[in-house]
Structure 1
Amino acid sequence: MAQDDGVDGYDLIGDVHGCGHTLIRLLEALGYRAEDGVFRHPCRRVIFLGDLIDRGPSIRLAVSVAKRMVDAGEAHIVMGNHEVNALAYCHQAPSDSEREWLRDHTPRNNRIIGRTLEQFHAFPLEWEACLSWFMTLPLCLDLGGLRVVHACWDEPLIAAFLARRPDARIDRDFLVESVQYGSLAQRILDRLTRGTQLPLPPGVEIRSGDGFTRRSFRTHFWCRNPRTYGDVVFQPDNLPLGLEDRPLSAGERERLSYYPESAPPLFVGHYWCKGVPALPRANIACLDYSAVKYGRLVAYRWEGEERLDANRFVWVDVEREGARG
């Protein structure tokens, strides 16, 4: 996919997570104005990094703003893991399956999607339209000078995916296959939208800031020769005491991805960063700064540069839910 004709640059926006009013404030700060219900810029386009839904106070608004822009050709978007979760949660499993839904309706999964279903409860046709739209979202974008994926650009898996789905979009058969652990569809969808996680040692767990107990930790993909857990951990929650220096096993290192320094600039979301936006490397930017946890909704203004510049980050603080999110 090539860059859009007549466009001077792209504004890449991280995980919105239902902060619809904050999204509008960010778009306005970037110079976009609403015309006939669509936010437009005279010479720029937006690229959303996925995870429009769940957690926030104005999920329907967030989806509506993004979808209208994409439908009008004013934005692109890639699928996030929360869109994947919603599709699997709301699609029944095949009749010969032991499960009823592709994503089980467990207390944990119910909680993750709960606010989205609450806010769409009185609008079932709108929710069905959202699910249909989610199914059309590509998993990755390569516009020549820049690349976009929600969590991790894994070159071998992306090549395998594009050989099977040249438009980078999934379908129902792919979604059904993805719930089979170890299948190619599962490995592609998991790596591109969730990144890599390594299991914690037996008996060790993390009580995460979002209220979940986790027995694994998120890792990044830009360390050439990682040796310890601390070399690759990439999440807001600290590892339990002593694990930063724990050596990676050969098997753990094999599970990790690596994005070369010579590759085009890459933009991801997903990782719940905190603080002032910064670049982990000159060709990688993470734009997820925990907006829904009253952090920042972050954009990067890309204008063709091969080496990214931290001065091009733009963000707005998320107001507390008592005001508007």
Structure 2
Amino acid sequence: MEGYDLIGDVHGCGATLGALLEKLGYHQRGGVYRHPRRKAIFLGDLIDRGPRIRLAVSIARRMVEEGEAHIVMGNHEYNALAYCHRAPRQGGREWLRDHSPRHNRIIKETLDQYRDHPTEWDEALAWFMDIPLYLDFDAFRVVHACWDQELIDALERECPGGIIDEPFLRQSVESDTLAYRVLDRLTRGVHIPLPQGVEIHSGDGFTRHSFRAHFWAREPRTWGDVIFQPDNLPDDLEERELAANERARLPHYGLDQPPLFIGHYWCEGIPALPTANIACLDYSAVKFGRLVAYRWSGERRLDANHFVWVRVPQEEAARPRPWEIDFD
């Protein structure tokens, strides 16, 4: 083993994932992408939005089941589990995740692409339940959105290995439970509410009433010190002072901690490191950005030269095809 190749949010760009793996030196043998000296780690959010969701899930699942890769759960896998699990009858709701217009829109592409493959979808959901929420290799760590050591320790006591069970999933939709706090923080990160009446109209068509904040600023003072998303804050809100309760919500991942790999945050442009020991690998692939990997080979201090990526072209004719794997 030379090291690991950590791959950011795929979001259904299955053919692009095949192209990235080929670029990294993985080749398909027996229906599985393999590398003679390395393994892959997927940072979650395989599903939703993109054109080849089934292909993305099949590539990752086969690699994981064959021992060629690891994976952590993203908020979209968690959303799918909650969306497709019926709520307890005494709970007053039909599904753990409401089938609201917003939630229906998010998962629409996934359900459409699996509509004629119901058994395959059931198998994918069962596999999602086996995906851990975090990985700690001692020398480096992996989580989809936010490493919160206190919550990870609490999760480990409830669900060894960070793999949730159905009771934990059911509890996760109740805001006063540990399960809710764990799933919300590890897969969605820290959100800071916007003032009453203020909205962000994002490029993906959703209206948001909070912004995504990062967790590595040593002594943050303003909202601008911690915002971590493509959308700017309206007016002069980046200069707004962090309130004491907002600062208290932010865990801190210091430079003395092992390298940490995250996805989730819709970065744009050329991949860069926010700190010397943190790499975000979500570069908006499904919005015709980049599907990004980081080639980790044991270094304690990360190096931006270790990023590898494939651009996702907008022109349909120029998009890579899944020429080597036919899962149908």
Q: State the TM-score, normalizing by the size of structure 2.
A: 0.96
AA aligned to 1:138 is P
AA aligned to 1:12 is L
AA aligned to 1:185 is A
Which among 277, 299, 304 is matched to residue 271 of structure 2? 277
> Which structure 2 residues correspond to residues 227-242 of structure 1 after superposition, within 5 A?
227-242=221-236
Q: Are the equivalent residues in 2 in contact too, given 1:14–1:298 (CA < 8 A)?
A: yes
Q: Are the equivalent residues in 1 in contact too, given 2:159–2:165 (CA < 8 A)?
A: no
Q: Distance in 2 between matches of 1:257 and 1:291?
A: 28
Which among 53, 70, 74 is matched to residue 68 of structure 2? 74
AA aligned to 2:264 is H
The secondary structure found in structure 1 opposite 2:10 is coil
The runs of 5 or more residues in structure 1 that have no matched partner are 1-6
Tell whether 2:44 aligns with 1:50.
yes
Q: Are the equivalent residues in 2 in contact too, given 1:22–1:319 (CA < 8 A)?
A: no
Tell whether 2:6 aligns with 1:30.
no
The runs of 5 or more residues in structure 2 that have no matched partner are 321-328
- Please state how far the C-alpha of 1:320 moved relative to its aligned partner: 2.3
Aligned to 1:181: 175
- Please state how far the C-alpha of 1:143 moved relative to its aligned partner: 0.7
Aligned to 1:39: 33
- Please state how far the C-alpha of 1:321 moved relative to its aligned partner: 6.3
Aligned to 2:214: 220
Q: Distance in 1 between matches of 2:161 and 2:177?
A: 20
Which among 281, 291, 300 is matched to residue 306 of structure 1? 300
- Please state how far the C-alpha of 1:144 moved relative to its aligned partner: 1.3
> Which structure 2 residues correspond to residues 249-268 of structure 1 after superposition, within 5 A?
249-268=243-262
Q: Are the equivalent residues in 2 in contact too, given 1:57–1:321 (CA < 8 A)?
A: no
The secondary structure found in structure 2 opposite 1:202 is coil
Which among 96, 116, 122 is matched to residue 110 of structure 2? 116
Q: Cα RMSD (Å) of the superposition? A: 0.8
Deviation by residue 1:251-282 (Cα, 9 ceiling, x = unmatched): 11111111011000000000000000000000
Q: State the TM-score, normalizing by the size of structure 1.
A: 0.97
Q: Are the equivalent residues in 1 in contact too, given 2:74–2:187 (CA < 8 A)?
A: yes
Q: Distance in 1 between matches of 2:161 and 2:196?
A: 41
Aligned to 1:90: 84
AA aligned to 1:162 is E
Structure 1 runs (4+) deviating above 4 angstroms are: none
Q: Are the equivalent residues in 2 in contact too, given 1:206–1:215 (CA < 8 A)?
A: yes
Which among 4, 8, 31 is matched to residue 14 of structure 1? 8
Aligned to 1:4: none
Q: Distance in 2 between matches of 1:105 and 1:278?
A: 37
Q: Distance in 1 between matches of 2:194 and 2:304?
A: 33
Which among 246, 250, 255 is matched to residue 240 of structure 2? 246
Aligned to 2:323: none
Count residues in correspondence.
319
Aligned to 2:204: 210
AA aligned to 1:308 is L
Q: Distance in 1 between matches of 2:187 and 2:161?
A: 17
Tell whether 2:123 aligns with 1:140.
no
